[in-house]
Structure 1
Amino acid sequence: MSIEVNGGVHAEEPRPGQCLRSYLRERGWFGVKKGCDTGDCGACTVHVDGEPVHSCLYPAFRAEGRSITTIEGLAGPDGEPHPVQQRFLDAQGFQCGFCTAGFVMTTAKLDGDQLADLPRAFKGNLCRCTGYRSIEDAVRGRCNIEEAAAGETVGRSLPAPAGPRIVTGTARFTFDVDVPGLLHLKLLRSPHAHARIVAIDASAALRVPGVQAVLTHEDAPDRLFSTGLHEHATDDPADTRVLDDTVRYVGQRVAAVVADSEAAAEEGRRLIEVAYEVLPAVLDPEEAMRPGAPVVHAKDGAVAGIARPEDNVVAEAHVEEGDLEAGFAAADVVYEGTFRTQRVQHAALETHGAVAWLDDAGRLVVRSSTQTPFLARRALARLFDLPHDGVRVVAGRVGGGFGGKQEMLVEDIVALAVLRLRRPVKLEYTRAEQFHGATTRHPFTVAVKAGARGDGTLTALELRIVSDTGAYGNHGPGVMFHSIGESLAVYRARSKKVDAYAVYTHALPSGAFRGYGLGQVMFAVESALDELAVRLGLDPLDLRAVNVIGPEEPLHDGDEDDLYVASYGLDRCLEVLRAAQDEPGGTPAPDGWLVGEGTALAMIATSPPRGHFADVRAALLPDGSYRLAVGTAEFGNGTTTVHRQIAAAELGTTVERISVRQSDTDLVPHDTGAYGSTGVMIAGKATLRACRGLADLLVDFAAARVGVARAACRLTEEGVAHPGGLLTLKELHAAARAMGQDLAAAGHFDGTPRSVAFNAHWFRIAVDPGTGELRVLRSVHAADAGRVMNPAQCRGQIEGGVAQALGAALYEEVRLDAGGAVETDSFRAYRVPQYADTPRTEVHFVDTLDPIGPLGAKSMSESPFNPVAPALANALRDATGVRFTALPLTRDRVWLALREAGVVE
């Protein structure tokens, strides 16, 4: 048979049952992505005889005699971009880029009627990053990028350097590599929430042709670690084994099958027989803390870092300031309520995965979809008793993260297989495994009591917080401690009290997620403030303005005394929202629907506490260009773009002359990781210092060469100008090389001191009382990001954060059955926002200049998520008179609550 792909012919016959997606990828067409394998995300879209199809659903044998076009074949005969590819470039219609090929391929075949109805046209394509606005701009031919003169790059919407590769499908993500002799790993997972493994019989599995090994707890190191990755490894309890003889949640690894093919590995997995001793389980965190509850982790002290293992309390915090009883006694109004937030999946389109091998020197090399390559290297070296330089971790372009890839969920088991078999091994999660075997946002229960005087001044604020960390404590303490930080510090109150608990259960583990606990507590606090405003007859914005922290006010004592209100734009954020509520605009409400408005605000530290380290090296190259070596990973957060802008500004050149090498532990210096909004704030500060050092070095070297005072020399785009003329950059490099001098400089930043960023959101919504449907009529977001380095890119981060938060507020929920098994394990069962679901948010920046951040910048990648849910719930309260205290705000829940409250009959 023959299949024509991008003008060439492939004669290899597909395997029985093989889909077109895997057939194409096996032949090197890596622009065709795997996002779901169920036809839900569109990342695998190709053209078959000119018609777009989801290649994961299209049997490969049906392509015989047909013409297939992938994203790589869309360009013109001379390599010029297809007009649609160019429009996506001009609009910067991507972030991580994993979904982009699918959108480009779909857009390239839209006709006039389809272009007029994009919500329908894009019903088969998902994007988790952008919020879809930039994708719409690409389709409509709008341009979001601009040019910049040499040295004038900061504050401009300059394009991402990977853009041309993303829109042509040549950007290389984790598995976009051809590794000879590759073995495939599949995991057998536990059907029980809590059980002891009595015996494992792998004999039938080992008889399957192609199966090379079955690994169990007897093959794994008897060493505890945490899957959560932090600069300080002791931040999380060491409570996890690569493979354990006790399972603590449905979906936990039991055994790994390694085979020549995925099919053989899956067949081997099916034939493994496991005998379990089923043990009592607890799935509710309140029950888990009660006397007599099943203990998730033993009390024998083997596990380090657990506060009270016998009570299933991983960590706890108890803080009290002022006289709480007197504070409530002084209040004219007191509100009490209990709020609950749900499990949410990160739903990055690139699932977790890694491929690893041994290099010629016998070193372990791991290519992984990780936000933290250096921490993963350290963890692997410790786990397998390898020397630090005996492990190399490489992150290609990462297809979305949102905190979920600040975990070691796959690298350890892949490394075990490689070290055991001495052959390359690959593990790539299916979409179902992403739900069963990855992490979620922590579910929270927050009881809040708030009191205020008649003028709105807060007198007392009391919270009891219970966070469900699931079966393992990865990120449990950090999320709990962070949740009670800026969410409360943003408001003044004479008396505050917090009791917070991170609790083990026999449920799917929780982990790092955008906002890192703040959003869950803000949902309760911001809702309570609105209730006080209603009872006092005040505008909710006025009540907030009376109570918010002011510029240069102290924030924290003790361990977080390095956190400051170093720059302040919160007052102007509130002004933006006030202007929005005072002016008409947005979509009109349908007849008979209830209309309401709501607001909420958020404050967040611009980087994590207790140190987050970045080292950057800037060097002059022989051709007169510059190179940055940066450890931070790129997954649509845009740090690569901003680092080039910072470097170009400091070196007096253009971004085109700055190349960036990153995310390879062999080739670049240490970076703690791309999480906690640190890509600009910390790695960017290190880039700034490295480039300033290099600029000084170039001027000093040139001055010495021509024998003039340093003050008489200045760095230009072409080289160093001096009284006698110009030493070009090429000449400088050649002269330095002849003298044995390295024209390079290093920059370091340890993440302290830290500043805060502010966000505020406002909604006007309509609610259908007959069905409970909620529709956003207008969405406005105000952000204090300091000096905005790249407006188009920063706006995209905000729009994406708002879209993700809307999904979490309205319908996203990882549901567990009575036994603890995940029920929502596909994009059809777990709904993420589609193009049709996502309103266009108006983004307003309030300019400040932060003295801590690089060139005045602050972070803005995760903070937009936090105020969205409370603002939406407050708008719903305004429209209906009903206070909703649990997320998500699904249609059925809204309708039932309105019926119970008598709003509808």
Structure 2
Amino acid sequence: MPKLQIDAEVNGRKISREADPHARLLDFLRDELNLTGTKEGCGAGECGTCSVFVDGKLVKSCLMPVAKVSGSRIETIEGLAKPGDLTPVQRAFHKTGASQCGYCIPGMVMAATSALRENPQADIEEIKERLGGNICRCTGYTKIFEAVEIAKAVIAGDMPETALEEDSVEDSYIGANVRRIDAPSKVSGRLKYAADMKMPDMLQMQVLRSPHAHARIVSIDTSAAEAMDGVACVITADDVPGKDGFGVFVHDQPIMARGKVRHVGEAVAAVAAEDLVTARRALAMIRVEYEELPGLYDPADALKPGAPVIHDYAPDNLVKHIPVRKGDTQKGFAEADLILEDDFGTQQVEHAYLEPEAGIAYVDPDDVVVVISPSQNITHHRHMLAEIIAKPINKVRFIMSPVGGGFGGKEDMIYQGMLALCAMKTHRPVQLNFTREESLIASAKRHPSRVHYKMGLKWSGQITAIEFDMLSDGGAYGMSSEGVMRKAAILSCGPYEVENLSVDTRGVYTNNTPSGAFRTFGGMQAQFATESMMDMAAEALDMDPFEIRRINMMKIGSSTHTQQTLETASLDRVLEAAEIASRWEKGAPRVRGAERGDLNGPDTRKPCTLGARIKNAAKDDAKTTERVA
């Protein structure tokens, strides 16, 4: 199709450019005008990172066809202030620390600017409403709203310009409001993330991904794709010159599927071409013949005798088992007045960082393979890649680009090897930018888990024994599973001193999307179960939930689950602060609120409403009934 002629005013400057008919305004701004402060986070108008003004109105540029803006006046984040200067809104974002990873901030600044332009007297509720189309995954929004309120007051003259200046620091920086040194580049849109970087003669990469969860690769025919005009190279696992395998603890993952695919979305082949459209068309020309294999989608099924084997080195599908033993649990349960037993589950969770995965690779004049990406573990990636591409370590370099949100999800080397192979094969720079859909299907998630929990207690609330058994879905590859299982085992029973415990955490292979690092690294799954059990125990024993935690909390001199003696401990202060801040009403769950008349009528609540099965342990049924009925 013929190109479109676009004549418009962009940031006060008349421009005249040709554009592809299918292009969005976002593509035009980033690719044709190099205005990369406008980001792509979702491509669906949901996240707001691409927000710009068109004829004075805030729009999502990922939803607007470029054909609609000819003759329009467009304003991007780069046009809000003169180069080197910042608007009051941008300065307020700098002042309050509203920018963390910074990827959402240009769009957020545009939305805040729009709010104050349309209503300079907007109150906090209106500000929240007007910023509702913009997502931030780092700050929690409080500092963003605070920044807009400060900017509003300064613009209106209710606060002096000095309110936007940095706070003075007296004796110590600890506890002082110190501004981030990288904030100006973020609030102005000048900071370059991996997808924003451009290099001369750069190719665009696209990846062919498996539609099957478990299948043997019978054949791959790339000849038609390689013959296409504009295609620089096509790579498969056969192009790996060295030892093909990477991972955090076990190197079980190939650069691209080798022999078989193990999850939907696994990379099978990749194309580097002159432009994105050509690369995508080439993918459609690759022919892959699969032989489907039985899949495993439940971790319990993966451990059953005769289950399909996902990795030959692990015939039992076990990634890692971490056992922890302390004391004698049989003795502890025998001493218990009450035994609670229940099951808990947590789900797979997507990191949803606003910056989709992206990277560039090239070979420098000294034949050093250079990879630029928002990797959270570049030293480890560098050592793994050197083995994969069969080069000495001094011929491999990793550069960490600004990370537009990670939360552990960019710790794994998922795509950097493919970039390096294409750069080596073409001797040209190669860029890969994931779509949001690609990020969802191919990147690691939080481990789904199931915990079977058994807890013995005295009537006093003292824990006598715990059995904790966690089964986690590691997905198709090991990634961070060993570390997550180890941390889950260490933190399994919370900050409570337990004399007798038995802990088992297991991560197993399935044909689901791989599980990897995510904030708390196994601690969240474990603590959800433990703290739920503590609340259930408080309810069963008619005890205040704070009190039962104080009875069991670790103190100075306590022995941890792994037999370490604590020299410091602060849970008592944490509990006290939480109790005060929450205005906690003291008392057992069945008694709290009695002065408000909650117990005037019949008490229809059941003990252990979270579903624990209460069992009498070495005590007569009458006493158990007296305590928990």
State the match for 2:280 in structure 1.
Answer: 266
State the match for 1:70 in structure 2.
Answer: 76
- Tell me the CA shift for residue 237 of structure 1: 4.5
State the match for 1:385 in structure 2.
Answer: 390
- Tell me the CA shift for residue 243 of structure 1: 3.7
- Tell me the CA shift for residue 210 of structure 1: 1.3
3-state SS in 2 of match to 1:484: helix
- Tell me the CA shift for residue 205 of structure 1: 2.2
3-state SS in 2 of match to 1:141: helix
3-state SS in 2 of match to 1:13: strand
- Which consecutive unaligned segments of at least 5 residues does structure 2 have? 1-5, 152-162, 591-603, 613-629
Instruction: Decide which of 220, 224, 229 is 1:200's aligned counterpart.
Output: 220
**Preserved contact between residue 225 and residue 241 of structure 1 (Cα < 8 Å):** yes
Mark the CA change 1:271 to 1:5 in structure 2 (over 3 Å): closer, same or farther.
same
State the match for 1:47 in structure 2.
Answer: 53
State the match for 2:233 in structure 1.
Answer: 213
Q: Which amino acid aligns with 2:396?
A: V
* Partner Cα distance (2:86, 2:360) in 1: 31
Instruction: Decide which of 514, 517, 525 is 2:522's aligned counterpart.
Output: 517
* Partner Cα distance (1:372, 1:138) in 2: 33
* Partner Cα distance (1:251, 1:428) in 2: 15
- Which consecutive unaligned segments of at least 5 residues does structure 1 have? 229-234, 300-308, 585-595, 599-876, 886-905
* Partner Cα distance (2:311, 2:529) in 1: 30
Q: Which amino acid aligns with 1:133?
A: T
Q: Which amino acid aligns with 1:236?
A: V
* Partner Cα distance (1:150, 1:71) in 2: 35
1:223 aligns with 2:224: no
Q: Which amino acid aligns with 1:122?
A: L
**Preserved contact between residue 322 and residue 495 of structure 1 (Cα < 8 Å):** yes
* Partner Cα distance (1:334, 1:284) in 2: 29
Q: Which amino acid aligns with 2:472?
A: S
3-state SS in 2 of match to 1:511: coil
1:883 aligns with 2:610: yes
> After the TM superposition, which residues 46-195 of structure 1 pair with which residues of structure 2 at under 5 Å, given as runs?
46-75=52-81, 77=82, 79-110=84-115, 111-112=118-119, 115=123, 116-141=125-150, 147-149=167-169, 152-195=172-215
State the match for 1:568 in structure 2.
Answer: 569
Instruction: Decide which of 3, 6, 24 is 2:29's aligned counterpart.
Output: 24
- Tell me the CA shift for residue 146 of structure 1: 5.3
Instruction: Decide which of 350, 353, 378 is 1:348's aligned counterpart.
Output: 353
State the match for 1:410 in structure 2.
Answer: 415
3-state SS in 1 of match to 2:288: strand
1:437 aligns with 2:476: no
> After the TM superposition, which residues 194-343 of structure 1 pair with which residues of structure 2 at under 5 Å, given as runs?
194-221=214-241, 223-228=243-248, 235-299=249-313, 309-343=314-348
3-state SS in 2 of match to 1:310: coil
Instruction: Decide which of 468, 475, 484 is 1:470's aligned counterpart.
Output: 475
1:582 aligns with 2:591: no
State the match for 2:377 in structure 1.
Answer: 372
CA RMSD of aligned residues (A): 2.4
* Partner Cα distance (1:40, 1:32) in 2: 14
* Partner Cα distance (2:182, 2:453) in 1: 46
* Partner Cα distance (1:329, 1:78) in 2: 74
**Preserved contact between residue 360 and residue 429 of structure 2 (Cα < 8 Å):** yes
Residues 324-382 of structure 1 show CA distances to partners (whole Å, capped at 9, x for unaligned) of 12211211221111111000011111111110111122211111111122222222112
* Partner Cα distance (2:518, 2:398) in 1: 23
Residues 194-213 of structure 1 show CA distances to partners (whole Å, capped at 9, x for unaligned) of 11111112233234331222
Mark the CA change 1:120 to 1:530 in structure 2 (over 3 Å): closer, same or farther.
same
3-state SS in 2 of match to 1:456: coil
* Partner Cα distance (2:147, 2:46) in 1: 22
**Preserved contact between residue 207 and residue 270 of structure 2 (Cα < 8 Å):** yes
State the match for 2:598 in structure 1.
Answer: none
* Partner Cα distance (1:172, 1:458) in 2: 53
* Partner Cα distance (1:79, 1:879) in 2: 65
* Partner Cα distance (1:878, 1:472) in 2: 45
Mark the CA change 1:145 to 1:280 in structure 2 (over 3 Å): closer, same or farther.
farther
> After the TM superposition, which residues 590-629 of structure 1 pair with which residues of structure 2 at under 5 Å, given as runs?
none
Residues 214-258 of structure 1 show CA distances to partners (whole Å, capped at 9, x for unaligned) of 212222246342333xxxxxx334343444121011111111011
Instruction: Decide which of 496, 504, 508 is 2:509's aligned counterpart.
Output: 504
Normalised TM-score (structure 2): 0.87
3-state SS in 2 of match to 1:52: strand
* Partner Cα distance (1:12, 1:288) in 2: 57
**Preserved contact between residue 77 and residue 188 of structure 2 (Cα < 8 Å):** yes
**Preserved contact between residue 71 and residue 105 of structure 1 (Cα < 8 Å):** yes
3-state SS in 2 of match to 1:218: helix
* Partner Cα distance (2:242, 2:477) in 1: 17
Mark the CA change 1:881 to 1:107 in structure 2 (over 3 Å): closer, same or farther.
farther
- Tell me the CA shift for residue 114 of structure 1: 6.1
**Preserved contact between residue 44 and residue 56 of structure 1 (Cα < 8 Å):** yes
Mark the CA change 1:880 to 1:224 in structure 2 (over 3 Å): closer, same or farther.
farther
* Partner Cα distance (2:425, 2:41) in 1: 30
3-state SS in 1 of match to 2:403: coil
- The worse-fitting range, judged by mean Cα deviation, of 381-390 and 416-425 is 381-390
3-state SS in 2 of match to 1:501: strand
**Preserved contact between residue 220 and residue 243 of structure 1 (Cα < 8 Å):** no
Residues 9-30 of structure 1 show CA distances to partners (whole Å, capped at 9, x for unaligned) of 3322111210111211122211
3-state SS in 2 of match to 1:11: strand
* Partner Cα distance (2:181, 2:85) in 1: 17
Aligned residues: 576
* Partner Cα distance (1:521, 1:257) in 2: 42
Normalised TM-score (structure 1): 0.61
**Preserved contact between residue 539 and residue 589 of structure 2 (Cα < 8 Å):** no
- Tell me the CA shift for residue 581 of structure 1: 4.1
Mark the CA change 1:67 to 1:506 in structure 2 (over 3 Å): closer, same or farther.
same
**Preserved contact between residue 185 and residue 262 of structure 1 (Cα < 8 Å):** yes
* Partner Cα distance (2:165, 2:583) in 1: 32
3-state SS in 1 of match to 2:46: coil
Mark the CA change 1:59 to 1:220 in structure 2 (over 3 Å): closer, same or farther.
same
Q: Which amino acid aligns with 1:155?
A: G
Q: Which amino acid aligns with 2:141?
A: Y
* Partner Cα distance (1:510, 1:220) in 2: 25
* Partner Cα distance (1:280, 1:267) in 2: 31
**Preserved contact between residue 91 and residue 134 of structure 1 (Cα < 8 Å):** yes
* Partner Cα distance (2:206, 2:582) in 1: 54
Residues 736-755 of structure 1 show CA distances to partners (whole Å, capped at 9, x for unaligned) of xxxxxxxxxxxxxxxxxxxx
- Tell me the CA shift for residue 878 of structure 1: 9.6
3-state SS in 2 of match to 1:311: coil
- Tell me the CA shift for residue 90 of structure 1: 1.8
Q: Which amino acid aligns with 2:149?
A: R
- Tell me the CA shift for residue 178 of structure 1: 2.0
3-state SS in 2 of match to 1:277: strand
Mark the CA change 1:176 to 1:597 in structure 2 (over 3 Å): closer, same or farther.
farther
> After the TM superposition, which residues 392-407 of structure 1 pair with which residues of structure 2 at under 5 Å, given as runs?
392-407=397-412
Mark the CA change 1:597 to 1:359 in structure 2 (over 3 Å): closer, same or farther.
farther
Mark the CA change 1:461 to 1:583 in structure 2 (over 3 Å): closer, same or farther.
closer
